[in-house]
A and B are shown apart, each in its own frame.
Chain A
Amino acid sequence: MIMPSLESADSMVLELRHLSHQPRFENGLQFQNVDLGIRSGELLTIQVDGAARTRSFASMLQGIGSPDSGEILFMNQDWLGSDYPRHFSQRSLIGRVFDGQAWLENLNVDENVTLAMRHHGRTREEIQASIRYWMSHLGLDKLVSRRPAFVAPATLQLHQWIRAFIGKPKLVILERPLQFLSEDWLAKLLSAVEDILNDDIAVLWLDSRPDLQSLTFNGRSRHVRLDGGKFTMPSDNIGGHHE
C-alpha cells in the first residue's frame, strides 16, 4: 500500500482502497487492486503515459462515476449512497485543473472562475481577495471577461489554475497543468504548489512529464508511476532532490 510514511487517519484527505477499474474509453487509466493515500499538505504525483486520458479517473476521485470495485474516501467519507447534498458539498472542497473541456461556454471566463465560490455562498469580498492574491502570485493583471471560445488556450489554462487554487480547498487535482503553456510557467506553478502545500492543502498531480519525480518540496512530496494498472515507485525517486 502506498501511503505517507507518517500515517495519520485524521489528516488523510484522499484514500483509495483496493481500487480496480477498467476504462470505458481508449487510453483511459486502468487500475488493478491499488491502494493510495494523500494527506493534507502533501503533494502526490502520478506519472502516466503520454497518451493517457486522466479525466475519468480524476472525476472518479470526485465521486463522478464509480470504480468497478474498491473504495474512494475523501475526508474519510465515501461517495456512495444518495446523500447528494453531502457529495456536492464535499466536491466543493476540491479544486481541479481539468484535462479537456473545463468551461461553461455560455458564461464568461471570469464568471466561470468565480462560479463555484458564488454558488457555495462565499462573500464577494472573500472571492475578490482570493482572486487578487493568486493573480498577483502568478503575475496576471485581471481576469478575462470574454467567452472561453474567444480566449487563447494558454490564458484559459492560467485561469484554470486560479479557479483550482481559490477558496482554500482541501485537495487540488492538477491534470496536466502545464499543457498549452511554455516551460517558463513551471517555476510559477511550483511556487504556487508550495504555497498551497503550506496552507495544508493536499495536491494530486497527474501528468506524463518525466521530471515529476524530481519535485520534493522539503520531503512533502511522493511520486508514483502507473504501470499496467499498478502503482510503482520510481527507483530514482527515493532521495531525489529538486526545488
Chain B
Amino acid sequence: MRVSRTRSRGMRVLPQVRPDRVLEAIGHSVVKRCVAVISILSLLSATCVLAFTPKSWSEPVRSVMSRQLLFTGVDGTWAAARFGAAVGVLLIVQAALWVDAIGMTTEMIAPMLWRAIVREVAPLLACLVVIGRSGVAISTELATMRVDGQLEVLDAQGIDPMTSLVMPRIVSMVFSVFCLALISATAMILTGYAGGRAVGVIRVSFLSFLDQLVGEIHTLDFLFFVPKTIVAGAFAAAICCLDGLSVKAAITDVPRVSSRAGIRALGAVFIISAILSILIYGRILIFEVV
C-alpha cells in the first residue's frame, strides 16, 4: 500500500491513505484468501477421490497410513486424555461458580457439561492435539522433503507424492481427530463427574449422572460432532500439507513455513467450528439466525 506523508501545521507528520489503495489492498487480501480456500478444497477433493480408489492403496501407501495413524492417533491418545481430564475439571469448577452465583440447580450441570463437551470443547481439543503433535510435524517433513529433492526422487520413480505422502496423512489425521475427540470427551465427563462430586456440585451417583447425560443426547449433537471433527480435521491436515509443499528452495524457509502452518490450521479449526455451529444450531451465541 502506498502511503504519502503531508506536514500538518508544521508539527506532525501524518500518513495520508488513499481510499482506492485501501480498497485494492482489501480486494487483494480477499482474493488471496479465496485462492487459499479453493486450494484446500481441491486438495481435499483429490484426497477423497484417491482414498476411494482401491488402486491407490499400494503396500507402501498402506504402510505410510499405518505409521501416521500410530503417530497421530495412537501416540496422541494419552495427550488427548490428559488434556480432556484437565478441561473436565475446569468446566466443573466453572459450573460450581455458576451454581453459587445465579442459583443454578445441580440437575442443570449434566446437560451443560454434555453440551459444552460434545458440541464444542472435545472436537476443538482433539484438533489442537493433532495439530500440535502431527500437523506441524507433517508440514516440516513435507517441506524438508521438497527442499531436499526427496519429492523429486519419489516422482522420478513413478510414485505420485499426492497418493503416497499427502493422501494417507490427511486421511489418518481425520480419523485421529474423530477418535481423539471421543477420548477427550470421555475423559472430560469422567473428571467432570469426579471433580463435581469432590466439590459437592454433583450429588448423584455416577449411573444417575450418566442417565442424565444420556437423556440430554440430541440428534443434532451427532450431526454436529461427526462433521465438526471430520471437516475441521480435514482442513487442518490439508493446510499443514499445502503449507509444507509450498516451501521454496531454501531449507531456512522450513521452520517459518511449519509454524505458519500450525497457526493457520488452528485458525481454520476455530473458524470452521464457528461456521458449523451457526449452520447446525442456527444461532450466533444467543441470537437466532433467520
Residues of B within 8 A of A228 (CB): none
Interface pair B158/A104, CB less than 8 Å apart? no
Residue A92 is within 8 A (CB to CB) of chain B in the complex: yes
Q: A101-B150, A104-B153, A105-B148 are in contact. Are A118 and B58 (CB under 8 A)?
A: yes
Which single member of A64, A118, A120 contacts B155 (CB below 8 Å)?
A64
Q: A62-B156, A91-B158 are in contact. List 5 more A-B contacts (CB 8 A).
A: A59-B156, A93-B158, A94-B156, A105-B148, A119-B158
Interface residues on chain A, size class? 20 to 34
Give Cα A89 to B145, complex, Å.
Answer: 22
Residue A225 is within 8 A (CB to CB) of chain B in the complex: no
Residue B60 is within 8 A (CB to CB) of chain A in the complex: yes
Residue A90 is within 8 A (CB to CB) of chain B in the complex: yes
Residue A106 is within 8 A (CB to CB) of chain B in the complex: yes
Interface pair B149/A104, CB less than 8 Å apart? no
Q: Residues of B at under 8 Å CB distance from A?
A: 58-61, 141, 145, 148-150, 152-160, 164
Residue A98 is within 8 A (CB to CB) of chain B in the complex: yes
Interface pair B156/A103, CB less than 8 Å apart? no
Which single member of A64, A96, A98, A119 contacts B58 (CB below 8 Å)?
A119
Residue A150 is within 8 A (CB to CB) of chain B in the complex: no
Q: Residues of A at under 8 Å CB distance from B?
A: 55, 58-59, 62, 64, 84, 88-94, 96, 98, 100-106, 115-116, 118-121
Min CB–CB distance A63 → chain B (angstroms)? 9
Query: Count of A-B contacts with CB under 8 A?
Result: 66
Kindly report which residue of chain A lies nearest to residue B159, judged by CB atoms.
A119
Give Cα A202 to B37, complex, Å.
Answer: 45
Task: Provide a sorted-by-A list of 13 A–B residue pairs whose CB atoms are within 8 angstroms.
Answer: A55-B149, A64-B155, A88-B160, A96-B157, A101-B148, A105-B148, A105-B150, A116-B157, A116-B159, A118-B58, A119-B59, A119-B60, A119-B157
Kindly report which residue of chain B lies nearest to residue A89, judged by CB atoms.
B158
Give Cα A101 to B145, complex, Å.
Answer: 10
Residues of A within 8 A of B159 (CB): 88, 92, 115-116, 119
Name the residue among B61, B154, B155, B156 with the largest chain A CB count within 10 angstroms. B156
Min CB–CB distance B130 → chain A (angstroms)? 19
Min CB–CB distance A31 → chain B (angstroms)? 20
Min CB–CB distance A24 → chain B (angstroms)? 10
Kindly report which residue of chain B lies nearest to residue A98, judged by CB atoms.
B153
Which single member of B150, B154, B158 contacts A120 (CB below 8 Å)?
B158
Give Cα A59 to B158, complex, Å.
Answer: 12
Interface pair A116/B158, CB less than 8 Å apart? yes
Which single member of A91, A92, A119 contacts B164 (CB below 8 Å)?
A119
Residues of B within 8 A of A98 (CB): 153, 156
Interface pair A88/B158, CB less than 8 Å apart? yes
Give Cα A101 to B156, complex, Å.
Answer: 12
Give Cα A157 to B80, complex, Å.
Answer: 44
Interface pair B152/A106, CB less than 8 Å apart? no
